[in-house]
Amino acid sequence: MSVGNSIPHDSGLGHVCGESVFIDDRAETRGEVHVGLVCSSIACGDLIEIDASEALRHPDCLGVFTAKDFVHKKWGTIVHDQPFLVEDKINYMSEPVCIVASRTRDSIEAIKHLVKLQEKAAAGIFTIQDARKNQSVIYRALKPFVQGNVDQALKMAPHKLTGTFTVGGQEHFYMESQAAVIYPLENGQLEIHSSSQHPSETQRTVAEALGLSLHQVVCVVKRMGGGFGGKESQAGPIAAYAALVAQKLKKPARLILTKDEDMKITGKRHPFQNEYEVAFDDDGKILGVKVLLQSDGGAYADLSASILDRAMFHFDGVYYLENVHIDAVCYRTNNHSNTAFRGFGGPQGNMTMESIIEDIAHFLKKDAAVVRLRNLYQGPNVKTPYGQNLENNMLPEIFRQLITTSEYEKRRVEIDKENLKKTGVLRGISITGTKFGIAFTARFLNQGNALVNLHLDGTVQVSTGATEMGQGVNTKIQQIVAHGFGIESGSVQVMTTSTEKNHNTSPTAASSGSDINGAAALKAVNKIKVNLIGLARKKFAGEVSSALKEYELEQNAETVPLDPNFIFQHGKVVELSTKKEISLKELISIAYQNRVSLGAYAHFKTGGLGFDKEKVEGKAFNYFTQGMAVSEVSVDEYTGEVKVLRVDLLMDLGRSINPGIDRGQVAGGFVQGMGWVTTENLFYDERRNLISHSPTTYKIPNIQDTPREFNIHFIENLNNDCNVYGSKAVGEPPLLLGSSVWTAVKHALSYRSKSNMVNLTSPATGEVVLMELTRLKRSP
């Protein structure tokens, strides 16, 4: 059967051969216009004047467009506060100011340089500390998460630590930059081809910007060359820029950002600076913890409120906190407007707790793994700080297995001995965990729809609102549909995502793409199967021949459950009680000739969800994807260079739909998380120009940075029954485990600390590590 097999990614061959079509691979059409953006050269201040006179005299310039050309001037996913183009106030460096249209791509840069901007700079706010002093706030948590009596615990505990955990942002670094091609159609319609994780949001953003109705705009997404959250909201205005040109000039318009432009203009992962107090006993048991999560939202709201909420939900990590107080605030700065990124705030919350655990272990001079086990969620139905039961808790079993299979205890002893030799290379080892809640925290987004068409030759076309960005969601949906009909996966084609086929789609985000859209597709499959089973039942009873006698089904495919007496397998429909069977193709032919529907639309919503932020109660997540990683590193004491020697990773993914794709997601997610906490640093000059805006200056992990030994395993869990075919989401959870590399670095540095705590910020670049080593060695 298709589900559970590691079939190849549906676009794998095309990617390798260079045949996969991305936005800029689309052939130019006659009269197509190329679009460019002119951006601000200050981070904060006033836009006095735009002088486009010279640009308009360029022979290839077809127009220069400003904020006044948009019908609606602002956009935003939650709050419409971000201008499409600067009207008067400039709020971050490289903020788009105007649009240029060119006959050729080669002329865009020349035309852009002919546009003269008169700007007046003002003092900006660039740090969380400055924003806090100025009370520059985007969003405050409606209510803190409170459990137990934290103040009493802090007062009575034998030990207490206070500190600040600082973690930087991260560039998405998708291979395909933001891109859109727009085709004007009849009656004022527009067809958008966008590299977008959220086709419906892109459709709405363009329609609002240009004063169109939604039925006049169609957004099409074949695939993206990576997304990681960066194309959830911020693809919308990119499409709007090109759409404005297409509408004004009545010509197809193409906007493809260069990598440098993309990195300068678009938002990143939110930097956080979290302040905490923690109380604990002699064994390292946490008796109480109070934390204030503080994020840098940048210039505009974007998705910052929801990201901050997710950080609160994931602060506890894999640890039970009997007495806890979690509060949060997102500050407005004059940085690029930060946005969704794989993990969506969860990593910034989760990593804070892991850092605290490491500090407790160092303070008590205990093995951090022992402290982690002491605080681990134990048993079924234990309460999270937001009042949800942790059902199907696999964490103790994952911990036990991983400690054994990774030989943690033996290696820890070896590391203790090795670090006494003072060879100039320190080693460190650490285990961290993830308990990632699967669902959108905005309940209305937990819905999807699918259209399934069964053709006369037994092949299937399926359309959903999911978008393929390399993560394999189309392949999983292909397998789900094939499994449902009992046919080979190659007989199923997942079609290009389009808002004319699947309306009001949710973004492919929150690790829910396969869950929501796969469940909707299976629901549509089952509707068709109800009709086919009804027909097979009559056929086996002799009540209908191939097409000699038309009949009416006496059942409603919407409400009638599948009859378990009939199974679809190996291209046949079998009645188990009589052992009678008929080929699926023959049954399809009979259905068609008797005017029985062979297509179905289905809508799916995740049941049982509903979290009240005001009351801090309800079910925030459908289930939790759980896992742990043990990472070992070496640290060069003379250069600060970090090498990842070995990683052992164990995940609970329920019953995997495609183990091969899941393995790739786990490996990729971990390495991306590892890069965030070790090498990926955002550098700015004194004017707030982003210096690290290209592959030459921004350091993502390369093949030499990946673990020398990388062991990935899945734990068997057959008890997950709340998702399609018992599977669990995999996109974001493994990224959080990348923090184990950072905590392993912190553990290594602790061997050079006598009484002082290790004050390690993230990312732990070579410079940061070397500075901390120097401080520790100089401390008394």
8 Å CB contact between 730 and 670:
no
Residue 521: C-alpha distances to residues 483, 526, 723 (Å): 11, 9, 13
* Beta carbons within 8 Å of 18's beta carbon, 6+ residues apart: none
The owner of tokens 């005299």 is 57
Distance in angstroms (rounded) separating the CA atoms of residues 48 and 75: 22
| Residue type (1 letter), 754 | K
Kindly report the backbone phi and psi dihedral angles of residue 752, in degrees, each rounded to the nearest multiple of 5, phi listed first.
-105, 10
SS3 359: helix
Question: What token pair was written down for 751?
Answer: 């061997």
Q: Identify the sign of the CA torsion 256, 261, 266, 272.
A: positive
Residue 90: C-alpha distances to residues 96, 121, 332, 401, 535 (Å): 9, 9, 14, 54, 66
Angle at 19 between CA 15 and CA 20, to 5 degrees: 60
What 3-7 contacts at long range (C-beta under 8 Å, 24+ apart), as own/partner pairs, is 3/479, 3/480, 3/483, 3/657, 3/725, 4/655, 4/656, 4/657, 4/658, 4/659, 5/479, 5/489, 5/658, 5/659, 6/658, 6/659, 6/660, 6/661, 6/663, 7/475, 7/479, 7/489, 7/658, 7/660
| Residue type (1 letter), 773 | L
The residue among 290, 268, 269 whose CA lies nearest residue 279 is 290
SS3 547: coil
Distance in angstroms (rounded) separating the CA atoms of residues 749 and 755: 12
Distance in angstroms (rounded) separating the CA atoms of residues 276 and 358: 14
Question: What token pair was written down for 243?
Answer: 């759409």
The residue among 448, 579, 468, 594 whose CA lies nearest residue 524 is 448
Q: Which of 391, 732, 767, 772 is catalytic?
A: 732
| Residue type (1 letter), 688 | R
- Identify whether 732 is a catalytic site residue: yes
Catalytic residue ranges: 732
